[in-house]
Amino acid sequence: MASRIIVREAEKEDIEKIVPLLVRLKALNEEIDPHYKAVDNLEEAARKYLETLLDRSDARVIVAADAETGDIAGVIIYTLVDRIFYEPRIKAVITDFYVHPRFRRKRVGSLLLDKAAERAASDGAGIITAVYPAGNAIAENFYKSRKFVPLQVEVYRPL
Amino acid sequence: MHEVSFHIRRAVSGDEEALADLIYRFYRFNEEFDPAWSTTRNALEVARERASRYISCGEGCFALVALMGEKIVGYAYTEIYEAEMLEEKNLAVIKELYVLPQYRRIGIASRLVEEAERIAREELGVEYIAAQFPTANFVAEKFYRNRKFRPFISIYLREV
């Protein structure tokens, strides 16, 4: 039977259920590029990160929850950035976006993205962007199919 | 540039724990590509059983591990299939190939595949080698294409 999904802003009580999703996301990033090597205390780091985000006024954590079980099916996190040289000044940057594999292909990702875009607009953002590892073809296809276009390139080299 | 040294050998008794961790990681990674790859809650336990099975498998399969010093950092698991109707009856299929992220880009996966090819050809008399991976794993696709593999079988799936 199909799950009914509720998309809403996260609360402190959700943190323990969001942590495993963030851990999975960072572990996936590590698979895509070894320079995303995850820290040993990944769970703890994820927990602290979420606690901090939920206290910030320039960041939003939005979750998709299974209405029956309360399980968190996915999470999207964005922060607001003031682009002081450009118009529109405020952009929402999606920094973390993950849907648990069990809930994929059920439009959970689209629901989360739509909610984030709507909330970002009400936060005063004029554009929404997303960052993800360069080799993540799944993310690339997802955003491309939702009319996102390349905006910025980040290159790196180890020191 | 310093040379990175690793070696490849067959998995043996004593490798179970490290091999199980790699098998678990392999399946967890595949899980990202399609919900049909969702792993069971006891996946690590199953991976341990598999590791033991891979180490003790007979002529129908073999497992290779890559070692950096004493540490097992990658593995390849290959099964031999017999197709009675086909002229070339035996086919070696690399079912699983995984290298720990921090040990990538130094040729370990390539060497694992080369060694699997060598064993298939020289020890098992097999003329073809194939590899399986999730369709959406474009990194794997590129990896095998770069090594002269060509598309062979497609599997399509839907919920029922």
How sure is the predictor about A2, in pLDDT bands with cuts at 50, 70 and 90?
low
Residue A81 makes CB contacts below 8 A (sequence gap 6+) with: A90, A91, A92, A93
Question: pLDDT, tens digit, for every residue of A78-102?
Answer: 999 999 999 999 999 999 999 999 9
**Taking the model in full, what pTM does it have?**
0.85
Judge whether A117 lies within some domain.
yes
Ramachandran area for residue B123 (φ above 0: left; ψ -120 to 50: alpha; else beta): alpha
Buried residues in B1-20 as b, exposed as e (16+ CB within 10 A): eeeeebebeebeeebbebbb
Could you give the CA distance from residue A99 to residue A125 in angstroms, rounded to a whole number?
24
Judge whether A79 lies within some domain.
yes
Could you give the CA distance from residue B41 to residue B145 in angstroms, rounded to a whole number?
34
Backbone angles phi, psi at B3, to 5 degrees: -85, 135
Q: How many structural domains compose chain A?
A: 1
User: What mean pLDDT comes out for the span B76-96?
Assistant: 89
User: What mean pLDDT comes out for the span A49-54?
Assistant: 98
CATH assignment at residue A127: 3.40.630.30
DSSP-derived secondary structure for A63-116: EEEETTT--EEEEEEEEEEE-TTSSS-EEEEEEEEEE-GGGTTTTHHHHHHHHH
Judge whether A22 lies within some domain.
yes
Judge whether A80 lies within some domain.
yes
Of the candidates A37, A104, A105, the beta carbon closest to that of B101 is on: A37
Are A34 and B105 within 8 A, CB to CB? yes
Sort out which chain B residues have CB atoms less than 8 A from A32's CB and list them: 139
- One CATH from 3.30.2400.10, 3.40.50.150, 3.40.630.30, 3.40.190.10 for B7-146: 3.40.630.30
pLDDT of residue B103: 94
Are B101 and A31 within 8 A, CB to CB? yes
| Structural domain containing residue A94 | 5-145
Are A31 and B35 within 8 A, CB to CB? no
Could you give the CA distance from residue B150 to residue B160 in angstroms, rounded to a whole number?
30
pLDDT of residue A45: 97
Domain boundaries, given as residue ranges, for chain B: 7-146
User: What mean pLDDT comes out for the span A51-68?
Assistant: 97
Sort out which chain B residues have CB atoms less than 8 A from A132's CB and list them: none
How sure is the predictor about B1, in pLDDT bands with cuts at 50, 70 and 90?
very low
Judge whether A157 lies within some domain.
no
Complex-level ipTM: 0.75
Would the pLDDT of B120 be above 60? yes
Are B31 and A103 within 8 A, CB to CB? no
How sure is the predictor about B3, in pLDDT bands with cuts at 50, 70 and 90?
low
